[in-house]
Amino acid sequence: AGGGESFVYISNNLTHDKYCVNASIDNLLERLTQRFQHLQQIHIFSDGSSQQFKQKFLFRNVCRLSQQHKVDLSWHYFATSHGKGVVDAVGGTLKRLVHRAIMSGERCTSAADFVKIAQSKTNTINVMELTQDCINKSKGQLEQLFKATKSVPETKKIHSIKALQNNSIEYGYYSNTS
């Protein structure tokens, strides 16, 4: 059975907005397409948080990211409030490891400290810092694009999207990927 890999981005920025999401996803896709040079398709799974993931700006950005990284890109949303998933477990594991280190006397006052401690405690989770400069760069790239972004009807009912050509998406009220 194949294993998986987890990637976690830590930041001092607490907004978790569309620019933070873009900065982390863009970095992740860059890493994946460099590592797997024949990568053709990526499926992202997340919760349905409307502030972060399930909104017209992310839908538009999925098209841009798909074109930029030359991959077929789909995003699938778990049903809201239906229990905890793998993402919560990975985050909980990191928090527990860092908390134990703090209780043992290590100092953690910033995202950079958290990343350093986490990286020293695990080699099974890829932990990276998402800096404010990276987020600001993301905002600069996307502000104009987002000004012309159109709404998608019944966004709350959508459970999957797929980037198509010509900056369009295909969306479904259920996900056809298991």
Is position 101 within any domain?
yes
Q: Which residue has the tokens 């709404």?
A: 151
* Containing structural domain, residue 108: 6-172
Residue 133 forms part of a structural domain: yes
- Which position has the higher pLDDT, 81 or 166? 166
Quick: pLDDT tens for 48-67: 666 566 678 988 999 999 99
Average pLDDT value over all residues in the chain: 88
Residue in the structure block whose two tokens are 């990975």: 90
Of the candidates 5, 42, 1, the one whose C-alpha atom is nearest the C-alpha of residue 128 is 5
Q: Where does 61-130 show beta strands of DSSP type E?
A: 72-77, 125-129
**Is residue 91 one of the residues assigned to a domain?**
yes
Assigned domain for 1 exists: no
The verdict on residue 56 lying in a domain is: yes
Residue 57's φ and ψ, nearest 5 degrees, are: -70, -40
What are the backbone angles phi and psi of residue 114, rounded to the nearest 5°? -60, -45
| Segment 90-148, tens digit of pLDDT | 889 999 999 999 999 999 999 999 999 999 999 999 999 999 999 999 999 999 999 98
Question: What per-residue confidence (pLDDT) applies to 26?
Answer: 96
Number of domains in the chain: 1
Nearest by Cα to 9 from 108, 103, 118: 118
Contact 73, 66 (CB under 8 A): yes
Q: Is residue 116 part of a domain?
A: yes
Q: Give the containing element (helix H, strand E) for 119.
A: helix 111-121
The stretch 71-79 carries a mean pLDDT of: 87
The reported pLDDT for the residue numbered 1 is 45
Judge whether 137 lies within some domain: yes
Q: Is 177 a domain residue?
A: no
